[in-house]
A and B are shown apart, each in its own frame.
Chain A
Amino acid sequence: MVHQYKLGGYNIVLDINSGSVHSVDDVAYDMIALYPEYPREKIIADLLGKYRGRPDVNEAELRECYSDIQSLIDAKKLYSPDEFEELAALPGPRPGTVKALCLHVAHTCNLGCEYCFAGQGRYRGEREVMSFETGRAAIDFLVEHSGRRRNLEVDFFGGEPLMCWETVKRIVAYARGRERECGKNFRFTLTTNGLLIDDEVIEFCNREMHNVVLSLDGRREVNDRFRRTLSGQGSYDIILPKFKRFVKARGDRSYYIRGTYTHLNTDFTEDILHMADLGFDQLSMEPVVCPPSEPYALTEDDLPVLLEQYERLASIMLERKRQGRGFTFYHYIIDIEHGPCVHKRISGCGSGTEYLAVTPSGELYPCHQFVGHPQFRLGSLGEGLTNTELQARFGSCNIYTRPECRECWARFYCAGGCAANAYHATGRIDGIYEYGCRLLKKRIECAVMLKVAEYEDENMG
């Protein structure tokens, strides 16, 4: 399978099954598209007609181009076959291994964001915070279920995790104490709205947290539309100085300023640029997850606007990079040289199998987005993983069990999408959130275009 598109002045050809990326001229672009359908002589005759008058297009040149295409096909870098389906039928390399936990240390929040998928942090339940004893049990559970895996991940999540800060610190200290005896390496992350950030939080996080995610929606009026304190005050002016201090102190360690866009700011590129102009250079902006009945839900009419926004963002990022003032957008990071292996590309994020969410009371769910939906309870820290049938259903979700993914050019970049999004859109964890697919495909096209531009810039002349 091949996917061809034109973007940013580049003609791009993706060979889906090998992962190859080709940057081609107009003639090769047309010839590659015609190759599977027509014999060589017809293709050459047609292109001689189409490019009549172009001095660089003659029969000898076209035959050379055709030969180059055949060489790429012979090398399995173009129109290569999909030989990976049998891998999907195999159990993972270490079935039953858990490698990452999303620790819901606080089912409570000091903001009242109307669009919050977690219902202002309560996940349809009562306000609750995690005890140190539960956190310790979660670390023990992760170590015991991690097999030979060395790198383990724990994300402190909520609600607002800084409302349970002393427990967070104790859990980190406990895990660090177990690292050496177990031969494990814990990578901690923290997602926060920023209200409770102070110098002590900054110092601790910059020492212990592999990554921090700082929530800000962009421009003041956009951020303060939803992200308000419980008394109704906008949070922008409270959190911005804290985020600036945090990021400055963080040095070269990883962070993301992470926003949510909705139907009310479909011009979200302006919000990303606002963040960049504030001096932040690691940015993420996500489409809102909510029922379609909400007034801020993204609509079908929004889609062309959003796709254009992603293209505009890519164009501006390229321009700024060439000016020496580039920034990173999470979804445009694409590691085509050292990206994930095909095993991971088939199976995706690992929710419900190697990635689990833990509630404040120690219940286990497939991921943070299923918490609060009792039918997705997998067990608890005390009783272990008891709903093995549900876990097996999550384990069998892959790009070959979704008919739409089997025929999709983006399958090895997206890995089948988000089970929670699919469930909310279709009622099935192995369904397809088609709206999200269209956004993701555009983001991948933009991300690959930026890599092609980087390659072309490095190889000019």
Chain B
Amino acid sequence: MKRIKTVNLKESALLGGCGECQTSCVANQTCEQ
């Protein structure tokens, strides 16, 4: 039986950092990409 259900930061390290997202003033922010 399936006991673990899974709902990527490393990928984001490669693709992210554009700085276009909103200044939080971080979990509730959304990426612009």
Contacts and interface: CB of A to CB of B under 8 A. Distances in A.
Contacts of B15: 341
A18 B9 contact: yes
Nearest to B30: A335
Contact of A345 (B6, B22, B26, B33): B26
B4 A451 contact: no
A80 B18 CA distance: 25
Contacts of B26: 339-340, 344-345, 348-349, 413-415
A340 B7 contact: no
B9 A345 contact: yes
Interface string A411-440: 011110000000000000000000000000
A68 interface: yes
Nearest to A24: B4
A334 B27 contact: yes
Given A335-B30, A341-B17, A100 B23 contact: yes
Given A341-B31, A412-B9, A414-B27, A69 B17 contact: no
A401 B30 CA distance: 25
A390 B25 CA distance: 20
Interface in A153-212: 153, 187
A191 to B, nearest CB: 11
Interface string B1-33: 101111111101101111111111111111111
A451 B29 CA distance: 15
B30 A354 contact: no
A149 interface: yes
Interface centre among B12, B17, B19 (most CB of A within 10 A): B19
Interface of chain A: mostly helix, strand, loop or mixed: mixed
B4 to A, nearest CB: 5
A340 B3 CA distance: 29
Given A335-B30, A339-B31, A344 B21 contact: yes
Contacts of A77: 6
Given A27-B3, A355-B23, A19 B8 contact: yes
A396 interface: no
B7 A23 contact: yes
A97 B4 contact: no
A420 B13 CA distance: 27
A333 B28 contact: yes
A455 B7 contact: yes
Contacts of B5: 22-24, 455-456, 459
Given A99-B23, A342-B13, A350-B23, A28 B28 contact: no
B19 A340 contact: no
A339 B27 contact: yes
A102 to B, nearest CB: 8
Contacts of A459: 5
B24 to A, nearest CB: 5
B23 to A, nearest CB: 4
A40 interface: no
Contacts of B6: 20-23, 72, 77
Given A153-B23, A354-B23, A415-B26, A72 B4 contact: yes
Interface in A325-361: 330-331, 333-336, 338-345, 348-351, 354-355
Given A25-B3, A334-B27, A339-B31, A151 B20 contact: yes
B16 A340 contact: yes
A444 B30 CA distance: 16
B13 A87 contact: yes
A84 B25 contact: no
B10 to A, nearest CB: 7
Contacts of B8: 18-20
A69 B29 CA distance: 30
Interface of A: 13, 17-25, 27-28, 56, 61, 64-65, 68-69, 72, 76-77, 83-84, 87, 92-94, 97, 99-100, 102, 149-151, 153, 187, 330-331, 333-336, 338-345, 348-351, 354-355, 367, 412-415, 444, 447, 451-452, 455-456, 459
11 contacts: A18-B10, A28-B3, A69-B4, A83-B13, A93-B18, A99-B23, A334-B27, A338-B31, A340-B21, A343-B16, A350-B23
Q: 5 closest pairs, A vs B, by CB?
A: A341-B16, A341-B12, A343-B17, A100-B23, A28-B3
Given A18-B8, A65-B3, 14 more contacts: A20-B6, A22-B4, A24-B3, A28-B4, A69-B4, A97-B19, A149-B19, A150-B20, A335-B31, A341-B15, A341-B33, A344-B21, A355-B23, A355-B25
